[in-house]
Amino acid sequence: MSEHSMIEARPLPDITDVAAPFWEATRRHELVVQYCAACNTAQFPPEVSCTECGAPDLTWRPVSGRARLYSWTVAHPPLLPYFAARAPWPVVAVELEEGPRMVSRLIDVPIDDYAFDLPLEVAFEDIDEEISLVVFKRAGG
Amino acid sequence: MSSIAGRTAIAGIGTTEFARHIGRGEELTALEAIRAALEDAGLGTGDVDGIFQVEGQKGEPWDVAQRLGVERLRAFSTVGGGGGAACGPVVWAAVAVATGMCEVAIAYRARHRGSMQRPWAGSPARVTGRRAFELPHGLVAPAQQIALTARRYLHESGAPEDCFARVAVVQRDHASRNSRAVFRDPITIDDVLSSRMIAEPLHLLECCPETDGACAVVVTSVERARDLQQPPAVIAGVAQASTKRHSLMTNLHAPDPFEWPAKSAARDLYGMAGLGPQDVDVALLYDMFTPVVLYGLESYGFCKRGEAGHFVAAGSIDGANAKLPLNTHGGNMSEGFLHGFNHVLEGVRQIRGSSTSQVASVDVALVGAAPVVPTSSFLLTK
Ligand SMILES: [Zn+2]
């Protein structure tokens, strides 16, 4: 890795752990979460058992991709080099229609248009051959 | 079942100076603070038989015991939870003393972060666990994690935007009278709001600094403490809490992110002590960022959900004669960032009547660790 790309390195997820099926799905541009076989709770982030009822059996199912903007911040330097080079850096929390909340980013929404409960839909940011991150865009946009 | 309520007390407190760069190691400052606490109590290193510490510092409890020349270390533990563990060593010291595992326990925290790179300043090649869903999006530092939901808090509560800034101003005013404090120059709300933006809506002066230093206390039985040279600060109730579907700092995966672990701790704490928020004369609440203080006020029942911003804006925490005097040492933000262990010492000073911002007639002091992570807290009485 060149010195330049070292400095610019973005933190990326380990896609081999309990969340592997999540990352396999995002690679296909599909958003999936875990559902509990016992209580049917939709669960994110991925875990080894249901954190609502403790049952061990979980299945991965696609969700609608529809969400609302729950909250956001805009990070200012000092930041990790990758983000500093692109600062100020907005980060959002969204609430999926199915319930779980996720940390993410909005594409194609100017910061001045951010509003609580803004309707959103899922999109995907391809990082490399293996990793696609879940991002969101304005619903119907 | 017998409770430990009121059976143990803090008999001595000790601290090093707090500084950006203290110029000697955590191993040394830990011993300095412990020796100072023992001296304050009128005890010696030969009396110690229990050691309880917060995670994330150099030296295990048994290392510290050896360095003090302790003959038999009979109880020890390292409490996890980061800033949520600020009260944990006192909690477990009280349990160990009350149950007879040991007689004189040290609880301490040495923390030299002023001299260190922040742990989140570098990032691993691949992020594992829950953080794998945060770091790639640029949610890296605790300030950003707290800021992310702080905006939602303002939206839901309708509290004025400057309610966070007011916390920093009030704490700095207290620090201006405290010679231990790293930051003593009084500040205004305008100063806070015009300081550099860190993570919107949080400005630089709403974040605690990184500092070096160490704090320690001596916990023993109430009977023994009453024979020692300082008035005892009786441990009336203790609690630890983590809650269902909690996630560190954001609590984003709980049904209501603003139902923090500290709310669960409060229930047990008050229940054990037979006291309620209306009995508390002064609160020492964890404050690595200003919104966290508001979450502490709500979690410990001083305000209802969504009311703390209005409570602060109305002047209810302003000064030592406030409706609820708060962080009278200056807190993590102005006295120094001892990960909340400095709040433990200030709770004792308030009970003794020796604070530099002394509240008139203190019968009950509450000390609460970071409410936004797996947490701990205790109540002190005379
Ligand atoms: Zn379940």
Instruction: Give the gap in angstroms from C-alpha A75 to the nearest C-alpha of chain B.
Output: 4
Question: Cis before residue B201, ω within 30 degrees of 0?
Answer: yes
Strand duo B375-381 + B233-241: pairing = antiparallel
Residue A103 to residue B198, Cβ atoms within 8 A: no
pLDDT at residue A3, rounded to an integer: 41
Query: At the top level of CATH, which class does the domain B2-116+209-381 belong to?
Result: alpha beta
Instruction: Give the gap in angstroms from C-alpha B208 to the nearest C-alpha of chain A.
Output: 15
Residue A12 to residue B137, Cβ atoms within 8 A: no
Strand duo B197-199 + B202-203: pairing = antiparallel
The answer to whether the beta carbons of residues A68 and A62 sit under 8 Å apart is no
Residue extents of the structural domains in chain B: 2-116+209-381
The answer to whether the beta carbons of residues B61 and B76 sit under 8 Å apart is yes
Asked, for residue A8, whether it belongs to a domain, the answer is: no
pLDDT at residue B119, rounded to an integer: 54
Query: What ipTM did this prediction achieve?
Result: 0.95
CB contacts, 8 Å: A88 with chain B: 197
Strand duo A58-62 + A32-36: pairing = antiparallel
Say whether pLDDT at A2 is over 80. Answer: no
Distance of alpha carbon B48 from the chain centroid? 24
Going from the C-alpha of B232 to that of each of B104, B211, B351, the distances in angstroms are: 14, 29, 8
Of A13, A44, A75, which is closest to B199 when you measure between CB atoms? A75
Which residues are placed with Cβ below 5 angstroms of ligand 1, an ion?
A 36, 38-39, 41, 50, 52-53, 55
**pLDDT < 70 regions, chain B:** 1-2, 115-124
Quote the CA–CA distance of B148 and A75 in Å, as a whole number: 9
Asked, for residue A3, whether it belongs to a domain, the answer is: no
Domain count, chain A: 1
Residue B151 to residue A44, Cβ atoms within 8 A: no
Closest of A140, A128, A132 to residue A104, by C-alpha: A132
Say whether pLDDT at A4 is over 80. Answer: no
- Domain range for A27: 14-138
The answer to whether the beta carbons of residues A95 and A101 sit under 8 Å apart is yes
pTM, two decimals, is 0.96
Residue A91 to residue B139, Cβ atoms within 8 A: yes
Asked, for residue A87, whether it belongs to a domain, the answer is: yes
Of B127, B144, B149, which is closest to A14 when you measure between CB atoms? B127
Asked, for residue A58, whether it belongs to a domain, the answer is: yes
Residue A101 to residue B140, Cβ atoms within 8 A: no
As a whole number of Å, the end-to-end CA separation of chain A is: 37
- Adjacent-strand bridge partners of B104: B220
pLDDT at residue B113, rounded to an integer: 80
Closest of B368, B177, B199 to residue B285, by C-alpha: B368
The letter for the amino acid at B328 is T
Instruction: Give the gap in angstroms from C-alpha A40 to the nearest C-alpha of chain B.
Output: 15
In tens, the pLDDT along A59-114 reads 999 999 999 999 999 999 999 999 999 999 999 999 999 999 999 999 999 999 99
Asked, for residue A5, whether it belongs to a domain, the answer is: no
Closest of B105, B111, B114 to residue B34, by C-alpha: B105
Instruction: Print the SS3 string covering A57-103.
Output: CEEEEECCCEEEEEEEEEECCCCCHHHHCCCCEEEEEEEECCCCEEE
Asked, for residue A104, whether it belongs to a domain, the answer is: yes
